[in-house]
Structure 1
Amino acid sequence: MCTGKAKHPHRQVRKQHRCVAERHSMRHTVEKWAVLILVLLLPLLSMAVLPLADTSEPRYAEIARLMVQTGDWITPWFSPGVPFWGKPPLSFWAQAASMMLLGSSEFAVRLPSWLCAISTTWLLFHGLRRLYGVSLALWTVIIYNSCVLAYIASGAVLTDPFLVLGTTLSMVSFALISQGMPVSRLWGYGFFGGLAIGLLAKGPLAAALVFVPVMLWSFYHRKTYAVSNRLPWLKGSMLVAVVCLPWYVLAEIKTPGFLDYFIVGEHFRRFLDAGWQGDLYGTAHQKAYGTIWIYWLLATFPWGVMMLATGACAIRSVRFRLAFKAMLAAPLRIYWLAWALFTPAFFTLSANILWTYLLPSLAAFSVLAALLLDELRRQFTFSKRSCLPLAGVVPLVGLMLTFVMYVKPDIRNSERTLIHYVAQQATPDMPLLYLGKQPFSAQFYSRGKADRISKAALPEKQSSGASFYLALPKAEQAEVARILGGPLEVLFQNRRHVLIKLPYAGAQPSSTNDKQALIKG
């Protein structure tokens, strides 16, 4: 504490300087904590107000809703009668449990991802605080949570946040153990606990994301035997087997063919075969080889751009080069590099990719970015406080987009407004049919009641005399009008679909308040 007076003037001056430095340090620490808390809390707003947008979010939400509806906690169901073999059930268990507690709302089904982000943040901070101190640990979690991909994923219905939680637990546990730090033995089991979480969240890919960086670091430092002796391999492996194997066995027994599709198809054919036609639940995401690095630039924004710009400056500037050398001299530098680079390197020659695949690598990237930022501060004697505005770029843009999409929800690919319109009509129980295939968001918001119909079946359905709502793509209006033999009376429309009611047998629009319009084919 800076109280009292020193007996000697020079000591008094030093004490005053020390007091000023302490106050500045405390103020900067408070500011960093405030930024971190703000970045962590802002996604809660979009989680509550934004509709689920096709296709991933409502698809996974509908699987969780069916889990609640059927009471089947072994097999996730893509739709009634169609098992979902694409992912293990951990995320669906969490989302289903959240909906049981909070109802079938957007916030409830997104909450587990946010809780995963909070848990991942805690693991990173706790581990790095022991390795490097509070300041660098705090900067790491600020950078991590303000990267575009991490920020979006924290408030979205995805399976990836659970994978990240598992890999981060394993990697942080290994980092602490590898340095011979006096930590609890629980961290040894944490390494295997993270593997169990990953195997139940994403499958064998989780093991590869953990073991390859660990092995690269161990071989580089020739510490494979010494480090491995610090891990409880027998008991840890038994822990993984006890937690994971029962579900895998029960899933195969309940729906034979699961293991072949999931292990071989999802983990090999999907990434090696650019034209893989075996995807039972969507379309192959065929991209040019190397596209993952473009995704990396977007996923790590704005910090990835900062690191690339610093690297470009290092070509001509000695001090920038010294900063990079000092960063690469930090303890565990090879470990963080292997962790950060393995995922994008692994998917460089993969054709079917999504940018969310990069999420497990962002924690290690954030450690490297924080180390580099620390070294740049030493070389150029600036306050890292001046970099805090970078952490606000993504949350600020996210807040603005949330407001825009709240005011105009139909700019997203979501059927929430159309389903709500039908529910508010005098005959809300009337069947709702989508021409062709109903979107996942229609399935979720209608609680599975929205169905589909083909063009060929339309005349027979209309002539049956049974009334129904028909949602058809806007581009199909002229064709449907021709099939039905008359103009369409549009009751409602969103970004993708128009809604009509059949049969109307020439009836006139009943109310201008419903914004009905005549569209001639």
Structure 2
Amino acid sequence: MTRISNTLLWLLVSVLAARLGLSALLPFADTTEPRYAEMARIMAETGDWITPWFDIGVPFWGKPPLSFWTQALSFKLFGVSEFAGRLPSWLANVGIVWLVYNLRRYLHPDPLGHGAKTQGLWAALIYATTALGFLSAGTVMTDSFLALGTSLTLVSLIIRLQGGPPLWGWLFFIGLATGLLAKGPLVLVLAGLPVFLWALAFNRWQPLWHSLPWVRGLALTLLMSAPWYVLAELKTPGFLDYFIVGEHIKRFVVSGWQGDLYGSAHDFPRGTIWLYLVLASMPWGLAAMAGMVRHHWRGVHKLQHWLSGEHNVSTLVVLAALAPALFFTLAGNILWTYVLPGLPFVAVLASGLLTPDTGQRLPHPTVAASLLIPVLGTLASGWVYLYPEQLKTERELVMTASQLAGRSSARLVYTGEPPFSARFYSAGRADSIDVESLRLQLANGTLRRPLAVAVGKNQHDLLGQLQQITDPVDENRRYKLFLLEPMTNNTAGNSNSDRKLPAFHYTEKHQQPLS
């Protein structure tokens, strides 16, 4: 392996290792990560591997269970922690990196004659250091597994079209099953759309048919995925109607769709997905476009070379890169993570347009570009680690409440629905309390047990009442935490009784907040 290949390999391993380390550093911040992590924790705790549960008695019909299965298994193996929750996404990302490497190796070499391994490493490094590629590698989310499924499907087909081993033909159908269990029928669209357009444009139906074991392969896909769909519908009837019709049709064609049972619909201007593609592929997408503009004739020559290979297979790479943006162009209810399945193919295209130097070392701009997102991500993570109160996370507040519970058996309650991060970090023990009920107990002195009460900072009336008689023991970006204890006989004569409601004992005013 040449020195440039060694440098690329070293950079790639360093980026992946750094992302893995950051996965253990940051707390879960509401809403996506702790929501999915809490559902995985419940799955691991209850042993219910069929239905992910959104809350007690509320099944989660929004996504299939593959990501929850992997996270729950990780919790069982390594304990419940941020690292264990994020590890499956990191492993899925490593799988995508490996697929990008293999795809680039099997494509025809560039005009400068670089080795296949070098080009494979170069493409893999580009993907690993895109903005969304780097972020998704250590985030509790379902999109990583959808991207793994679509990448495995399309990469397998392209490699087979290039004469790769028959095993890749079977991996095509395993990729479909992975996507069906990760995010549902969307994988059929994101993988099927570029294949259909490519076969239609170049009349490649016959090579497409002969490259894959269609009958046995589809049977394998159904065998791997269909049983869960059947069991899920039998266990919680109504799942298929909500998931297939609601999540896959109404979500994208009905602006501000109100049928979402687990969140709120988004309504962005049509075409926003293309802006997301640019942002998600930073810095490489813009660098590749700038390279084409700066060296117009060379860029055109490279594109012609890419698009003129056997079976026009590189056009399929282009279509795979653009398929998510094309599909979601007219959708308003979108997130930037929706372009993730296209990024592996964007990286392969960028690797052909941004060919590294043929010398013994990578040029400095190339190294700088590959380090930009990892360095920015590391710096941002370090800042958040030092100042976790800047995030919408309840980790520190729950830790304080746990200390109070150890000292006074106080139960953690929120004046409103507890955020998902509170539910996760309290292992499901965080509860809610009605504000009027709390006020009545304070006024009548009828509190039966100590409470660690998290009061929203927007609840000014209640905060004012509590702060007249006690200071919060902790606070974060959204809540202030108060320790409230029932009055006992030995506190009845306390000298600060004039600052307490009748028959009720509060935390002393001079007590220091717990850290």
Matched, 1:173 2:165: no
Note if contact 1:299-1:355 (Cα within 8 Å) is conserved in structure 2: yes
Note if contact 1:469-1:499 (Cα within 8 Å) is conserved in structure 2: yes
Shift of the 40–484 alpha-carbon distance from structure 1 to 2, 3 Å rule, reads closer
Give the alignment of 1:154-193 within 5 angstroms.
154-179=137-162, 181=163, 183-193=164-174
Q: Map Cα deviations across residues 312-340 of structure 1 (whole Å, 9 max, x no partner).
A: 435xx434443444444455221011101
Question: Quick one: distance in 2 between partners of 1:286 and 1:110?
Answer: 29
Letter of the 1:166 partner, please give it.
Answer: G
Matched, 1:421 2:400: yes
Matched, 1:412 2:391: yes
Shift of the 243–221 alpha-carbon distance from structure 1 to 2, 3 Å rule, reads same
Give the alignment of 1:80-229 within 5 angstroms.
80-132=56-108, 133-179=116-162, 181=163, 183-229=164-210
Name the counterpart of 2:254.
273
Q: Map Cα deviations across residues 5-46 of structure 1 (whole Å, 9 max, x no partner).
A: xxxxxxxxxxxxxxxxxxxx7221111111101111111221
SS in 2 for 1:51: coil
Question: Quick one: distance in 1 between partners of 2:200 and 2:408?
Answer: 65
Shift of the 461–226 alpha-carbon distance from structure 1 to 2, 3 Å rule, reads same
Shift of the 151–513 alpha-carbon distance from structure 1 to 2, 3 Å rule, reads farther
Q: Map Cα deviations across residues 238-272 of structure 1 (whole Å, 9 max, x no partner).
A: 11111111110000000000000000100011111
Note if contact 1:435-1:454 (Cα within 8 Å) is conserved in structure 2: yes
Please point out which of 477, 483, 490 is paired with 1:501: 483
Please point out which of 221, 245, 257 is paired with 1:264: 245
Note if contact 2:157-2:211 (Cα within 8 Å) is conserved in structure 1: no
Matched, 1:400 2:379: yes
Name the counterpart of 1:11.
none
Name the counterpart of 2:50.
74
Shift of the 472–511 alpha-carbon distance from structure 1 to 2, 3 Å rule, reads closer
Question: Quick one: distance in 2 between partners of 1:216 and 1:428?
Answer: 66
Letter of the 1:490 partner, please give it.
Answer: P
CA-CA distance at 1:68 after TM superposition: 1.2
Question: Quick one: distance in 1 between partners of 2:315 and 2:477?
Answer: 48
SS in 2 for 1:359: helix
SS in 1 for 2:48: coil
CA-CA distance at 1:511 after TM superposition: 7.2
Matched, 1:338 2:319: yes
CA-CA distance at 1:453 after TM superposition: 2.3
Note if contact 1:64-1:92 (Cα within 8 Å) is conserved in structure 2: yes
Shift of the 28–496 alpha-carbon distance from structure 1 to 2, 3 Å rule, reads same
The two structures have a TM-score, normalised by structure 2, of 0.89
Please point out which of 345, 353, 364 is paired with 2:334: 353
Matched, 1:440 2:420: yes
Shift of the 321–235 alpha-carbon distance from structure 1 to 2, 3 Å rule, reads closer
Question: Quick one: distance in 1 between partners of 2:466 and 2:512?
Answer: 22
Superposition RMSD on alpha carbons, in Å?
A: 2.3
Shift of the 232–496 alpha-carbon distance from structure 1 to 2, 3 Å rule, reads same
Please point out which of 425, 447, 463 is paired with 1:465: 447
Please point out which of 266, 270, 281 is paired with 1:285: 266
Name the counterpart of 2:495.
none
Question: Quick one: distance in 2 between partners of 1:447 and 1:257?
Answer: 29
Matched, 1:515 2:510: no
Shift of the 272–428 alpha-carbon distance from structure 1 to 2, 3 Å rule, reads farther
Matched, 1:450 2:448: no
SS in 1 for 2:472: strand
Name the counterpart of 2:301.
322
Note if contact 2:4-2:362 (Cα within 8 Å) is conserved in structure 1: no
Please point out which of 472, 490, 499 is paired with 2:472: 490
SS in 1 for 2:341: helix
Name the counterpart of 2:491.
none
Question: Quick one: distance in 1 between partners of 2:195 and 2:409?
Answer: 56
Please point out which of 480, 490, 494 is paired with 2:462: 480
CA-CA distance at 1:387 after TM superposition: 1.1
Letter of the 1:442 partner, please give it.
Answer: A
Matched, 1:364 2:345: yes
Q: Map Cα deviations across residues 473-508 of structure 1 (whole Å, 9 max, x no partner).
A: 2121x2214666945521100111111123573557
> Percent identity over the alignment?
42
Letter of the 1:290 partner, please give it.
Answer: G
Note if contact 2:22-2:138 (Cα within 8 Å) is conserved in structure 1: yes
CA-CA distance at 1:411 after TM superposition: 1.2
Shift of the 385–141 alpha-carbon distance from structure 1 to 2, 3 Å rule, reads farther
Shift of the 168–402 alpha-carbon distance from structure 1 to 2, 3 Å rule, reads same
Question: Quick one: distance in 1 between partners of 2:62 and 2:138?
Answer: 22
Question: Which ranges of structure 1 fall in alignment gaps of 5 or more residues?
Answer: 1-24, 517-521
Question: Quick one: distance in 1 between partners of 2:300 and 2:106?
Answer: 27
Note if contact 1:373-1:384 (Cα within 8 Å) is conserved in structure 2: no
Name the counterpart of 1:21.
none
SS in 1 for 2:436: coil
Note if contact 2:484-2:507 (Cα within 8 Å) is conserved in structure 1: no
Letter of the 1:218 partner, please give it.
Answer: A
Note if contact 1:123-1:172 (Cα within 8 Å) is conserved in structure 2: yes
Name the counterpart of 2:493.
none
Q: Map Cα deviations across residues 42-92 of structure 1 (whole Å, 9 max, x no partner).
A: 112211121011110000000000101111110000011100000000000
Shift of the 191–461 alpha-carbon distance from structure 1 to 2, 3 Å rule, reads farther
Note if contact 2:291-2:354 (Cα within 8 Å) is conserved in structure 1: no
Question: Which ranges of structure 2 fall in alignment gaps of 5 or more residues?
Answer: 109-115, 487-499
Matched, 1:254 2:235: yes
Size of the aligned set, in residue pairs, is 485
Question: Quick one: distance in 2 between partners of 1:217 and 1:388?
Answer: 35
Letter of the 1:198 partner, please give it.
Answer: G
